[in-house]
Structure 1
Amino acid sequence: MSRGGIVRRVRGGCRAPSSFAIRGHDDDDGDGLRTVLVTGGAGYIGSHTCLELLATGRYRVVAIDNLVNSDVESLNRVRELLAAAGGEECDDDDEDDDDDVDAFGDRLHFRDCDIRDGAGLRSVLDEFPSIGSCIHFAGLKAVGESVARPLDYYDVNVGGTTCLLRGLESASVRRFVFSSSATVYGEPEMLPLKEHARLSATSPYGRTKLFIEEMLRDLYASMPKSWNILILRYFNPIGAHPSGRMGEDPQGIPNNLMPFIAQVCVGRREKLSVFGDDYDTPDGTGVRDYIHVVDLARGHVAALDKLYDDDDVGCESVNLGTGTGVSVLELVAGMAEAAGGPVPYVISERRPGDVAELYADATKAREMLGWTAVLGTREMCEDTWRWQSTNPMGYKVEAEVVTEN
């Protein structure tokens, strides 16, 4: 498979990937495809996961998003990449084009819908009755912002997930993959972090993730024969699709490290603020387990495959990470190398809720899901730079250039 994760679709004379298989579907439209609802599907991780799902040739995707911190152009890029990949492998001598399905148009659907909108969710579930599973990304996601706006985080993340689960339960959609976070480990009691480590949280954002996890465990306990749930705790997603056509495009000032560095590199921001250089780490800056977004997207596909292959998963938590910690300054150096120039930065005060180190033990993901991260820091930085340098304003034509932080 190419590093970009594009698997060629079976169309006419196209070649099928050797791993292609259809297993026990009960939610298809007669075409052997599994239909999955992806919340937050136009977002950074959501759009990359839509691409990987569709690239397998096994899934139809219904993506919903309220576009508050995302752009539907990301899904147009998904279609573009899949169509280009399919064209590369197709047999030009095939003349039976009338029977081909056009450019994945019937396999990727988007609806503008907020997960707090119960009526809107019911409308989507009614429109696509073949939906048999859900990957849940939608939510607010910045630690610092959650400290300033806790009620918004509880409303969207916890309230929205409650509404979503009610809708799925009514529609008998009970295969569920939840996008959780390593923030549920709070101040880590062990490194690398294992799934059985003590759970706590140091920010409202982390607490929303932890509360949703507890909600899912309670829901499963109430109906253990009905629900099949995987909770994916991942660490710090960065990088972009290696084509440079898809990447992270936050609205306004980025709350996460890598998109801020990338915007500094292309001149949209004057300098980076490094929050704290007095942690008990080798260079004093925070250490995190950064994971390439393509690896992460493939992890979600592996999780969903597991739920379809095994009806008795139960409700399990799984770490998705590389198992290796990288400091903020190491990441800055990696981006400077990729961009071919220094990244201006200043040291600022620590942010409330941040911890010194977080990195994963990903053994369970390998053993349970057959998944391992394969892309390193170099690929993360190079792919981020390719995305940002060729799309300096993200998915937009124009964006604000800021001279002060």
Structure 2
Amino acid sequence: MPRVLLTGGCGFIGTHTVVVLLRSGYSITVVDNLINSSLKSIERVREIAKDEGIENVDLEVEVCDMCDLDAFEKVFSKYGPSGFLSCIHFAGLKAVGESMSLPLLYYQNNLINTMNLLTLMEKYSCHRIVFSSSATVYGAAEVMPITESTRVGEGITNAYGRTKYMIEGILGDFQKSKEKNETPWSVTILRYFNPVGAHPSGKIGEDPSGPPNNLMPYVSQVAVGRREFLSVFGNDYDTPDGTGVRDYIHVMDLAEGHLSAIKFMDKKPGVYEVFNLGTGNGYSVLDMVRAMEKASGRKIEYKIVERRPGDIATCYANAVKAKEEMGWEAKLGLNEMCRDLWAWQSNNPKGFE
């Protein structure tokens, strides 16, 4: 089967996407520098593949810093020209708070690793890329739901989000420059909303190093006893219960979106397309707390604290384009998100370590 390169494939979304691709028979090479991930995640993926009866698993892992062009090229040369049919680009620093205190680190890492990747993909004749972007590129969008035509780049409040916006621009310029080539480039941008949940086996899930970047790891860590309480930032927003409303998507649905993107580019070479990946439904912070209490059977203590600068009341997606053009839509709901997150957290209270 065709070989797919996954950068940052040892991380949360990457490992779940590996499972989905293995189910479909793809050969996979993961490149990761392990700064905020663990090789144990890939060991667990192999266990899942065995449990699911997936045969002929072809999964290679290369530990490499993509910002080191010479070291990164050794990965490509190992497989030779046309060794990779497609690339899914997850790799990047992603802690919002850290990006505000260390912006140069984020610009250097996230932009340079992307430019090195494109340089090597061109040199070794791999012309299809799926980019792991984010709804942060929409900034403080005020009109809901957010569609792919909603303005991007304005009101982004952190360096992490700006790197996603800048990489989208780099990919667009690069793809356009290759339109007249004999083999044009295909670029698919996936703008995630809020990934949650885990593989239903509970063997892989989100394992943040340091403070979590998202709500639900905090919630699940309170449920499992790692944290005393959850800080809820504001309860006076114009929402049903006063807390912020977001579009949460199960990570397995998100992983399926990457498989859909690869198949989409198989059918439509030479495209540059952007897709929102979300459910189109908004849940408040307290909705998520109650759903996690139900899934875990435990009381989750929380305290209301001051709003965070830059937070908006409501943010949710219109994902109709992904359904109409890629044939993808989210299938798992809030109960499944919290059930599977609890399976992961309760079986791995301290993560992979």
The 3 A distance-change label for structure 1 pair 328 and 127 is same
Q: Tell me the equivalent position of 1:307.
A: 265
Q: Is 2:144 aligned against 1:176?
A: no
Q: Tell me the equivalent position of 2:296.
A: 339
Whole-angstrom CA distance in 1 between matches of 2:66 and 2:237? 38
Q: Is 2:167 aligned against 1:199?
A: no
Q: Tell me the equivalent position of 2:114.
A: 161
The 3 A distance-change label for structure 1 pair 121 and 353 is farther
Residues 96-115 of structure 1: matches in 2 within 5 Å? 101=56, 104=57, 107-115=58-66
Whole-angstrom CA distance in 1 between matches of 2:11 and 2:169? 25
Whole-angstrom CA distance in 1 between matches of 2:307 and 2:101? 15
Q: Give the conservation status (yes or no) of the 8 Å contact 2:103–2:159.
A: yes
Give the CA deviation at 1:374: 0.3
Q: Tell me the equivalent position of 2:212.
A: 254
Given residue 381 of structure 1, which amino acid in structure 2 is its aligned partner?
C
Given residue 63 of structure 1, which amino acid in structure 2 is its aligned partner?
V
Whole-angstrom CA distance in 2 between matches of 1:280 and 1:381? 25
Q: Tell me the equivalent position of 2:71.
A: 120
The 3 A distance-change label for structure 1 pair 204 and 367 is same
Given residue 11 of structure 2, which amino acid in structure 1 is its aligned partner?
G
Q: Tell me the equivalent position of 1:358.
A: 315
SS in 2 for 1:232: strand
Give the CA deviation at 1:253: 2.0
Q: Give the conservation status (yes or no) of the 8 Å contact 1:143–1:205.
A: yes
Given residue 293 of structure 1, which amino acid in structure 2 is its aligned partner?
V
Give the CA deviation at 1:131: 1.1
Give the CA deviation at 1:349: 2.5
Whole-angstrom CA distance in 1 between matches of 2:212 and 2:24? 32
Whole-angstrom CA distance in 1 between matches of 2:36 and 2:135? 21
Gapped regions of structure 1 (runs ≥ 5): 1-32, 88-99, 397-405
Give the CA deviation at 1:235: 0.2
Q: Give the conservation status (yes or no) of the 8 Å contact 1:238–1:384.
A: yes
Amino-acid identity (%) = 53
SS in 2 for 1:364: helix
SS in 2 for 1:385: helix
Whole-angstrom CA distance in 2 between matches of 1:374 and 1:295? 7
Which deviates further from its counterpart, 42-51 or 155-164?
155-164
Given residue 84 of structure 1, which amino acid in structure 2 is its aligned partner?
D
Whole-angstrom CA distance in 2 between matches of 1:369 and 1:318? 9
Q: Give the conservation status (yes or no) of the 8 Å contact 2:140–2:310.
A: no
Q: Tell me the equivalent position of 2:179.
A: 224
Q: Is 2:2 aligned against 1:47?
A: no
Q: Is 2:339 aligned against 1:388?
A: no
Q: Tell me the equivalent position of 1:91.
A: none
Give the CA deviation at 1:358: 1.3
Q: Give the conservation status (yes or no) of the 8 Å contact 1:143–1:353.
A: no
Q: Tell me the equivalent position of 1:92.
A: none
Given residue 12 of structure 2, which amino acid in structure 1 is its aligned partner?
Y
Q: Tell me the equivalent position of 2:329.
A: 372
Report Cα offsets for 1:317-347 as digits up to 9, x if no partner. 1001100011111101111111112111112
- Structure (1 or 2) with the larger CA radius of gyration: 1
Aligned with 1:238 (options 189, 192, 196): 196
Q: Tell me the equivalent position of 1:61.
A: 28
TM-score (norm 2): 0.95
Q: Give the conservation status (yes or no) of the 8 Å contact 1:65–1:112.
A: yes
Which deviates further from its counterpart, 173-182 or 282-291?
282-291
Q: Tell me the equivalent position of 2:287.
A: 330
Q: Give the conservation status (yes or no) of the 8 Å contact 1:202–1:354.
A: no
Given residue 248 of structure 1, which amino acid in structure 2 is its aligned partner?
E
The list of structure 1 runs, each at least 4 consecutive aligned residues, that deviate by more than 6 angstroms after superposition, is: none
Q: Is 2:93 aligned against 1:140?
A: yes
The 3 A distance-change label for structure 1 pair 143 and 350 is farther
Aligned with 1:278 (options 236, 259, 262): 236
Q: Give the conservation status (yes or no) of the 8 Å contact 1:203–1:353.
A: no
Give the CA deviation at 1:189: 3.9
The 3 A distance-change label for structure 1 pair 382 and 47 is same
SS in 1 for 2:130: strand
* Paired positions, count: 346
Given residue 34 of structure 1, which amino acid in structure 2 is its aligned partner?
P
Whole-angstrom CA distance in 2 between matches of 1:115 and 1:304? 22
Gapped regions of structure 2 (runs ≥ 5): none
